[in-house]
Chain A
């Protein structure tokens, strides 16, 4: 048995909290897929930039 979590995001800053709640499941997920729509672009790019610095 395995399951995936699909999170469509508009780039809200509550995303991390949502992801953490999925990672904290008693039965943990196989993978979490965050799907960033067009409106989430600035948010995701900001994350990538801070990660690379």
Chain B
């Protein structure tokens, strides 16, 4: 696999490796595949994920690594500030995950949460490399693979902890991903959620129905999803 030299202006650029994953073989070229390849290629004790449109606060990793060193085997999740069209700013999640609360329950029991997809920010999660190797991302899921990953980590006994401080900033439109909900990915997610709790599946489908109708300007249709 060719490794290209980065073209970055930073004086620290030598620490940056760009790895191409253009032809990942059979299967869908999902973000999950890219994440798993990154974990495999990594050489450190801990690994963190950063989306290419996010910005970390300078103290993010110190806070999360300090936490993980005191709480071995845990999973450290960030909170984020969402910046919508460079104007509106809001913190997500509104409420962090409680101690021992199931991650899927936290996200799915509240329809509002999955509507905007942003109630629970998962990008920026930190774990040990060993844990990430042991529990890879599900490469079949075309989106929100990190939610399922956190669910699997929790199922295997890792304690999830969500920091209430804002540790990174997400720039973008929370509605942008709506179109991805159509088709195969939607079915995959519906099926996985159904296997955990049928209520989660119906909340998920309600959320998609609401958001997609809203995007088309159909307010009445959007609201009808909650009748």
Contacts and interface: CB of A to CB of B under 8 A. Distances in A.
A is bound by B: yes
Contact of B50 (A10, A16, A22, A27): A22
A21 B45 CA distance: 20
B56 A22 contact: yes
Contacts of A47: 4, 6-7, 18
Contacts of B4: 44, 47-48
B154 interface: no
Interface string A2-29: 1111111110101111111111111111
Contacts of B50: 5-7, 18, 21-22
B17 A32 contact: yes
Contacts of B23: 38
Specify which of A8, A10, A48 lies most central, judged by the most chain B CB atoms within 10 Å of its CB.
A8
A18 B45 contact: no
B61 A12 contact: no
B62 A23 contact: no
B46 A36 contact: no
Contact of A8 (B9, B12, B31, B168): B31
B55 A4 contact: no
A41 B12 CA distance: 24
B46 A3 contact: yes
Interface of B: 4-10, 12, 15-24, 29, 31, 33-35, 37-39, 41-62, 65, 69, 126, 129, 168, 171
Interface of A: 1-10, 12, 14-39, 41, 44, 47-48, 50-51
29 contacts: A1-B69, A2-B46, A3-B45, A3-B46, A3-B65, A12-B52, A14-B53, A14-B171, A15-B52, A21-B56, A21-B58, A23-B10, A23-B16, A26-B59, A27-B62, A31-B16, A31-B43, A31-B44, A32-B15, A32-B17, A33-B38, A34-B16, A34-B19, A35-B21, A37-B22, A38-B23, A39-B29, A47-B4, A50-B7
